[in-house]
Structure 1
């Protein structure tokens, strides 16, 4: 049982360990996690993707512009609009207004960078499509997300464009290219490595480290918030992720859409994982830019952190069912 559910148990341990010793894995902490984890773990994930993905499959996916447009519409247009609608409905509730604004911020973010690629691959989905959309989403997101925040909340400010592009280049594009080159030059060595090392489990371990780092940062801030605010928000965000992920899968498998976009089951998994998830990599720097001088900046960032943890936990629970569904007979 422990072996079967080690990832979920690992997430629980990571959050508990972060609460006990937040200085260990926080930004500027004992191990300088902003470099060792935030860069190191993501680099490993995309280097392994470079080793395992076939170059032709990657190039074929890049040419499927309609797939990218559909996924980005879900993540950067539809989910932000729904999230804003939910936040508007909460304005008269007892939930802290800064937390409600934080929900809007969280919902306007592009797709996450690491989790969707790892989970798509493990679910038998189109890993190349997830990877390409992680890159596309985070590049266009640095322009679109601030626009939504100005429209919805009246907050204006420039996203840290140069920093985000640099991070994407160093943590995704460079490791991916290096992995592809290693696969091309040493195909036999790579094949032997794949037989000896479970790349999927290594990817999951990196996700656990990233979640641990996030919660170390959160607990270090020592955010004070009434249970009547954060408990309802926790359930609202879990509900939102369940709704968004179900909606994305339903749309990707809806016969007219499926025919127009030529989706198969593996594409539908990528749509689910990319369309419903939100990134911390752009979200946290953007919150700092827009709300850095606000005393409630910690509260505003909390919904994004909660949503991120929810998508990691619930997304991992989807893997087994999705894998069986992808392998099953087509309708």
Structure 2
């Protein structure tokens, strides 16, 4: 694959770098009160558009058969929403589709609750207004998207609209305005040493949890198939920019260090892709081999 082909394939990763650089060069365009009016266009319109788009594209009719894999879903959601945040705190195609969708629904409620738990009730964050805005900009557009899909399903399936590309483009706008606020504040800096340390920590956490979920889910006593185990490994450790960045924007609206809070998630996303591509040959060999418990860990 040539350079142009690689850029087309990974355009979103390139786009993140471009919008951050653009924010560095022209922060005045995307700051609050600037020409883009992000306090309206981003906080309400862009976030709502992402989740309306998600509602349109979410094929809930394909999730019915996946509902039967109860043990798999319990494992994935328990690890994602219970074990993962607790561990961090202490350290201060159908199954995967189902858990991606189901995790997003749960994340809308569970993530703010985890913030309340970790930050404490004395936190200055206005949780009542946060939940209200989450409902209006996330839940309502998602439901409207699903209602519209019910009437437009044949049209949508026939036209094959680029839902993922649309959400990614809107997400780049959110990232741009987030970093515009940061670069317009001369008191906020992130040195290279700290950034490299965050990269090392993110990769270490993700790889450790992937190995942990594989070790546990591949045990024959749990009864998961090799395909189930692969879905568990990737779904349990998955963190979504599409949900995460808008939620950070809502929860920490007005906080001057918002972009710095976003950095770990911005690193985690490409780390998922990189680790996934690196592990594909090993996983393929493991799935086609006889003994399923040791090959992947060699």
TM-score by length of 2: 0.74
Distance 1:204 1:324 in 2: 28
Q: 1:254 aligns with which of 211, 215, 218?
A: 215
The number of equivalent residue pairs is 275
Question: Partner residue of 1:216?
Answer: 180
User: SS at 2:9's partner residue?
Assistant: coil
User: In the alignment, does 2:53 pair up with 1:53?
Assistant: no
Unpaired runs of 5+ in structure 1?
Answer: 85-120
Offset at residue 306 of structure 1 (A): 2.2
- Asked whether 1:206 is paired with 2:170, we answer yes
> What secondary structure sits across from 1:156 in the alignment?
coil
Once superposed, what is the RMSD of the aligned Cα atoms?
3.7
Partner of 1:174: 140
Looking at structure 1, the residues matched to 223 and 41 of structure 2 have their Cα atoms a distance apart, in angstroms, of 40
Q: Any conservation in 2 of the 1:75–1:274 contact (CA below 8 Å)?
A: no
* Equivalences for residues 7-22 of structure 1 within 5 A: 7-22=12-27
| Mapped partners of 2:241, 2:42: distance in 1 | 24
Among candidates 122, 128, 134, match of residue 104 of structure 2: 134
1:23 and 2:28 are equivalent in the alignment: yes
Q: Name the residue aligned to 2:295.
A: none
C-alpha spacing 1:190/1:279, structure 2 compared with 1 (3 Å): closer
Which position in structure 2 is the counterpart of 1:273? Answer: 238
Aligned counterpart for 1:236 among listed residues 197, 200, 219: 197
Contact kept in structure 2, 1:76 and 1:145, CA below 8 Å: no
Question: 2: distance between equivalents of 1:323 and 1:47?
Answer: 32
Question: 1:80 maps to what in 2?
Answer: 89
Kept in 1, the 8 Å contact 2:133–2:250? The answer is no
- What secondary structure sits across from 1:273 in the alignment? coil
Q: 2:113 aligns with which of 139, 143, 147?
A: 143
Give the Cα–Cα distance (whole angstroms) in 2 for the partners of residues 81 and 278 of structure 1: 24
Q: Which structure is higher in RCO with an 8 Å CA cutoff and minimum separation 6?
A: 1
Output the TM-score relative to the length of structure 1: 0.68
